[in-house]
Amino acid sequence: MRQKNAFSIFYLALVFFLGLALAPQLFSQKAPKDKLALTPPMGWNSWNRFGCDINEKLIREIAEAMVTSGMKDVGYTYVVIDDCWMAPNRDKQGNLQADPERFPSGIKALADYVHSKGLKLGIYSSAGTKTCQGYPASLDHEENDAKKFAEWGVDYLKYDNCYNQGRDAVERYQKMKKALEATGRAIVFSICEWGQNRPWLWAPEIGNLWRTTGDIQNSWESIMYILDQQVGLSKYARPGAWNDPDMLQVGNGGMTTTEDRAHFSLWCILAAPLMAGNDLRHMTEVTREILTNKEAIKVNQDPAGIQGYKIRDEGNQEVWIKPLKSGDYAVLLLNRGEKSAFIVIQAEKIGMPQASKYVVRNLWSHKEEITGGRIAARVPSHGIAMFRVHSVSSPR
């Protein structure tokens, strides 16, 4: 009996100490896909402002600016290096390698620096033989490249669609998904397939976000063109899986402040990923205020994960709404026209329960009023008015 007890104690002790030894490995395992990007990813991407003109100094400075500007404090997390970070050729072992002149310290050192700021690093490749700018890409190298990304400490992969050889999109993206999962590292998977094969029908089971359109341009016309293509897609979005109308152009100079504010507000109500694309080191205070509007961001990041949708279209005047987890509604009045316009809608028309009074809070002026249900504003040309509405009788 004593021998049995001694053996049991020895066995339990062995299991305990083995558990301690293995704990770091167990807890570093990849979070399941349904635990990643439960709200739309927020961060910054190099492409819209810098294109191929990138290097490790820039990325380090952007990470620093994300912290000092207050962007990190409101939820911006990912610093994503887009195309052109690679050397022109793979190394002798067949691995992707960073350009030795622009990224002499390598991606691992850069990831370590970004992580030291409390941020996460993203990187870029393509589901083709070359990236869009002609650098080595990951088609038929998925397992090897995914292992290298994980080894470097990458947290986010933007995966493009150039030089795809006409091969089936679902198979190409599915293969990278499996390769990423096999690494054991939690890596958000951003599918940049341009909406060519209706990715909203299949990408929710493969990636965390998927592009619904071609590339965004730095103009109001591009914003409106992309917005129109989001109509009807809200039913495909959910926590962990998001329609992506492309990265933000706020602060890049192609639009007025009114248009920039409208662009940001629309992306917030669409539950779109908020990936800034401007030079964070030198942005104006107005641009910073747009990108860090906590009340608009709270709408975007609402845990219910419902994508906003259009409920009224009267030519140049539109009304978009987004039901929120609390029972509140976000309401956006959009004026696409060339002159200011008065836009009004009643709370009952957006689906809110009947009540004697409603609190209507303007998310840009940060002022609120109590009404009988009337939600209204004079909206400037190419502008928006954005509100959060709840009935006074609703539980808070």
**Residue 215: active-site member:** yes
Q: Give the active site residue among 145, 155, 160, 328.
A: 160
Q: According to the model, what pLDDT value does residue 34 have?
A: 59
pTM of the model: 0.91
Q: According to the model, what pLDDT value does residue 13 have?
A: 43
Determine the Cα–Cα distance for residues 288 and 79; give it in Å rounded to an integer. Answer: 17
Question: Which stretch of DSSP H or E encloses residue 257?
Answer: helix 257-269
Q: According to the model, what pLDDT value does residue 35 have?
A: 86
Determine the Cα–Cα distance for residues 73 and 78; give it in Å rounded to an integer. Answer: 13
Determine the Cα–Cα distance for residues 144 and 183; give it in Å rounded to an integer. Answer: 10
Determine the Cα–Cα distance for residues 229 and 195; give it in Å rounded to an integer. Answer: 10
Q: Return left, alpha or beta for 63; rule: phi > 0 is left, psi -120 to 50 is alpha, else beta.
A: alpha
Q: According to the model, what pLDDT value does residue 394 have?
A: 52
Task: Assess contact for 164 and 189: CB atoms under 8 A.
Answer: no
317-323 vs 209-211, strand pairing mode: unpaired
**Residue 260: active-site member:** no
DSSP-derived 3-state class of residue 331? strand
Q: According to the model, what pLDDT value does residue 81 have?
A: 98
Q: According to the model, what pLDDT value does residue 102 have?
A: 98
Determine the Cα–Cα distance for residues 161 and 172; give it in Å rounded to an integer. Answer: 9
Q: What is the DSSP letter of 281?
A: G
Determine the Cα–Cα distance for residues 263 and 227; give it in Å rounded to an integer. Answer: 9
Q: Give the active site residue among 99, 112, 215, 313.
A: 215
pLDDT tens by residue, the chain, 396 residues? 434 444 344 444 433 444 444 333 333 333 445 589 999 999 999 999 999 999 999 999 999 999 999 999 999 999 999 999 999 999 999 999 999 999 999 999 999 999 999 999 999 999 999 999 999 999 999 999 999 999 999 999 999 999 999 999 999 999 999 999 999 999 999 999 999 999 999 999 999 999 999 999 999 999 999 999 999 999 999 999 999 999 999 999 999 999 999 999 999 999 999 999 999 999 999 999 999 999 999 999 999 999 999 999 999 999 999 999 999 999 999 999 999 999 999 999 999 999 999 999 999 999 999 999 999 999 999 999 999 999 997 555
DSSP string, 310-325: EEEEETTEEEEEEE-T
**Domains of the chain, each with CATH number or no CATH:** 33-300 (3.20.20.70), 309-391 (2.60.40.1180)
Q: According to the model, what pLDDT value does residue 393 have?
A: 73
Q: According to the model, what pLDDT value does residue 101 have?
A: 98
Q: According to the model, what pLDDT value does residue 6 have?
A: 43
